[in-house]
Every structure is written in C-alpha cells, then in structure tokens.
C-alpha cells in the first residue's frame, strides 16, 4: 500500500504519523495490513496539523503516534480509538490520564532509540569541544582559520538522568578516558562500570562537571536555569538530547553571552521546528533537528516494537 493512500471507509483503521515512517512506509507496517487493518497517513513526511489528524483518526481503532500533542478533549472525539502506540518512550505530548479514562491504551517502545540518542550525545560533545561546525563554516567561506580545542580525556562528564540512554553515554565516555558522575532520581546502584564512574546528587554533578548532558524525563520547572547555571564551572558545556523543557533558553543564552557556559548542543526544542531564534543562531550553539533516534537501526527497532505493541493491545480488546 502506498503511504500516500488514505481510506475513508471501514472501521478497522490505523493511523500512522511518525515522520520517519510515514513516507516510504516500513516493512513492519505490512503486519498491520496482514492483520486486516487499513493504514492511513494523515501527513506523509510531516507532523500533521490538528485538522489533518482529526480527519484521519475518525473511525480508527489504533494509532502509531509521533510527537503531536494529544489532549484529553481532542481524544474524546474518537470513541472508536482503543490504543495509541509510540515509536519511542516519550509520552509527555499525550494526556495519558485522560486516555486511560477513555479506555485507550498508551504504549511505548522503551530502549528502542537509546543507542542512537547516546551516540548523538557523544558526537555533539566532540563536535563542540573541537569546534567542528565553526571550522567547517570557515573553510567553506574560503578562510583558513583555527581555534584551539579541548581533549575530553581526563574531563568530567556529568549525567543528569542515568537510565538506558545515560548508561550508554557513560560507557562511551569512559571509553574516551573521561570521568563520569551521574544523578538519577532512581539510581541503579548496581551500575558501577569503572572506578572513574560515581553517583552524585544533582548539585554535586553540576559543580564537578566540565560537560553536563541531560537524559531526564520532562519536568515542570527547567533543570538548567539561572540558579543551576550558577553552580556550573565557568566554561562548562551543556548537551540536551532529552526534552526542551529541561532547559531555560533565556538563562542559557545569557550564560553563553557572558562566557559562563562555553557551549550548548541541543537536539530538542520547545517548538519544532524552532525557526530563527537568538539561541539557535548563536555561534556557540550546535543545533540538530531532533535526530537522536533518527537512525536506520533505531527506526527499525522502534517501528517493530510499536507495531507489535499495537497489535497485541488490539487483540486483547476482543
């Protein structure tokens, strides 16, 4: 079935919105068709707007969701909907409590994107400390200009959040000769891979780190703001491949301007795409368009998991 085809009839329908699979499809989606479902794509290759999503979800019993926001009021318009399956672990864009009250199962694929996000974290760190984007832009502009970089070996990487992604980042950083100190609300105390790894409090991590990397779930208040930036070593770097809400953009921008923070490398934004902003355009910011889990391997793992979870949930409805 072409991913551009939608169906108007039939009650056994499933909507698919993640951009990574809504253009070109994916072999896992054929399992949905084999199970007798019609697969609809509200906005192939893009995040659907509310009207596109509303039109596509009418009559759907299942939904493989991307990052679109799903309020309880919006979900109440679709009484036939039985299950929402995410091709990742984040559900902060979904009113899970409202979905549960309406009898809609919300399913995730934990760990599917962990390796891709962890590798991007390390890539951003190395790019930032060696100034790779700046040097690349100079050469492309015809300039032979150089700035001294830093070596990460011997430096301390602080992890705010040390779950599946954070632990992978820790192992890679240790392999580069770094020291790692980690904070987690529910630390896995048995994870002590090296004498160069230690658990610490939030403040201990902030005070001791040369680079801080965020791997936490969303929070009501930013974890990195004016007060916590004041705890950092002067010239520390910040990496965010987790959630935009963890970082107060204005505070970080001010710290970049003053030199209190050397760099920000971020893969996540409050509004995506973020457009032209002072933060994205800052010379000491590396910005990537939410590509942490956008590898062939991560997409495969996440899509198969999302499809399997959805089929199982729908089978259990009978």
> Phi, psi (5° rounding) for residue 138?
-65, -45
Asked if residue 124 and residue 104 are part of one domain, the reply reads no
Can 135 be counted among the known catalytic residues?
A: no
- The full DSSP string for 228-262 is HHTTSPTTEEEEESS-GGGB-HHHHHHHHHHTSEE
Look at residues 28, 47, 172, 115 and name the one whose alpha carbon lies nearest to residue 295: 115
Asked if residue 154 and residue 87 are part of one domain, the reply reads no
Beta-carbon count within 10 A of 291 CB: 14
Domain count, the chain: 2
**Average pLDDT score over the chain:** 93
pLDDT at 2 > cutoff 80: no
Asked if residue 17 and residue 71 are part of one domain, the reply reads yes
Catalytic annotation, pick one of 33, 50, 151, 272: 272
Asked if residue 33 and residue 104 are part of one domain, the reply reads yes
Position with higher pLDDT, 95 vs 10? 95
Rounded CA-CA distance 282/240 in Å is 16
Ranges of beta strands (E only) in 35-89 are: 38-40, 60-65, 83-86
- E strand or H helix at 51, and its extent? helix 50-57
Structure tokens at 46: 């893009």
Asked if residue 81 and residue 46 are part of one domain, the reply reads yes
pTM assigned to the model: 0.88
User: Could you give the percent of the chain with pLDDT greater than 90?
Assistant: 87
Asked if residue 93 and residue 181 are part of one domain, the reply reads no
Asked if residue 203 and residue 168 are part of one domain, the reply reads yes
Structure tokens at 207: 């005070």
Mean pLDDT of 184-204: 97
Asked if residue 26 and residue 122 are part of one domain, the reply reads no
Angstrom CA distances, 315 to 26, 32, 35, 157, 308, stand at 21, 12, 10, 45, 11
Catalytic annotation, pick one of 290, 297, 301, 318: 290
Can 290 be counted among the known catalytic residues?
A: yes
CA angle 228, 229, 230 (to 5 degrees): 85
Q: How confident is the model at residue 213 (pLDDT cuts 50, 70, 90)?
A: very high
Q: What pLDDT was estimated at residue 219?
A: 87
Q: What is the CATH number of the domain that holds 301?
A: 3.40.50.720
Catalytic annotation, pick one of 26, 86, 215, 243: 243
Interval 233-266: pLDDT, tens = 999 999 999 999 999 999 999 999 999 999 999 9
Asked if residue 88 and residue 134 are part of one domain, the reply reads no
Position with higher pLDDT, 1 vs 288? 288
Angstrom CA distances, 204 to 160, 168, 212, 255, 301, stand at 11, 21, 12, 20, 35
Interval 7-16: pLDDT, tens = 444 449 999 9
Q: Burial of 298 by CB count in 10 Å (0-12 exposed, 13-18 middle, 19+ buried)? A: buried
Inter-residue contact 205 to 232 (CB < 8 Å): no
Angstrom CA distances, 53 to 57, 97, 107, 272, 287, stand at 6, 20, 19, 17, 28
- Is there a domain that residue 5 lies in? no
- Is there a domain that residue 179 lies in? yes
Question: What's the chain's length in residues?
Answer: 318
pLDDT at 297 > cutoff 70: yes
Asked if residue 98 and residue 195 are part of one domain, the reply reads no
Asked if residue 161 and residue 84 are part of one domain, the reply reads no
Can 7 be counted among the known catalytic residues?
A: no
Interval 29-77: pLDDT, tens = 999 999 999 999 999 988 899 999 999 999 999 999 998 999 999 999 9
- Identify the domain containing residue 17 by its residue range: 13-112+296-316
Asked if residue 209 and residue 79 are part of one domain, the reply reads no
Q: What pLDDT was estimated at residue 278?
A: 97
Q: What pLDDT was estimated at residue 7?
A: 41
């Amino acid at each position: 079935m072409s991913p551009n085809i939608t169906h108007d009839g039939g009650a056994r329908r499933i909507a698919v919105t993640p951009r990574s699979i809504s253009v070109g499809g994916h072999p896992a989606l054929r399992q949905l068709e084999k199970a007798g479902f019609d697969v609809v794509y509200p906005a192939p290759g893009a995040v659907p707007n509310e009207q596109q999503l509303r039109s596509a979800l009418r009559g759907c019993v299942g939904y493989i969701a991307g990052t679109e926001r799903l309020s309880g009021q919006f979900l109440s318009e679709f009484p036939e909907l039985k299950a929402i399956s995410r091709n990742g672990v984040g559900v902060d864009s979904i009113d899970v409590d409202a979905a549960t009250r309406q009898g809609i199962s919300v399913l995730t694929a934990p760990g599917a994107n962990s390796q891709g996000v962890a590798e991007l974290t390390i890539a951003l760190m190395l790019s930032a400390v060696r100034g790779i984007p700046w040097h690349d832009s100079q050469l492309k502009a015809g300039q032979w200009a150089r700035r001294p970089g830093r070596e990460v070996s011997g430096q301390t990487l602080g992890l705010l959040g040390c779950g599946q992604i954070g632990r992978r980042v820790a192992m890679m950083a240790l392999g580069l000769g770094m020291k790692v100190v980690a904070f987690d609300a529910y630390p896995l105390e048995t994870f002590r891979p090296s004498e160069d790894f230690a658990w610490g409090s939030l403040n201990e991590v902030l005070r001791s780190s040369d680079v801080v990397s965020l791997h936490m779930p969303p929070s009501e208040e930013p974890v990195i703001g004016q007060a916590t930036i004041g705890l950092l070593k002067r010239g520390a770097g910040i990496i965010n491949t987790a959630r935009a809400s963890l970082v107060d953009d204005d505070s970080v921008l001010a710290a970049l301007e003053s030199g209190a923070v050397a760099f920000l490398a971020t893969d996540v934004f409050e509004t995506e795409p973020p457009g032209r902003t002072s933060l994205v355009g800052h010379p000491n910011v590396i910005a990537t368009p939410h590509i942490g889990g956008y590898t062939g391997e991560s997409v495969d793992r996440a899509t198969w998991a999302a499809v399997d979870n959805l089929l199982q949930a729908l089978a259990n409805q009978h």
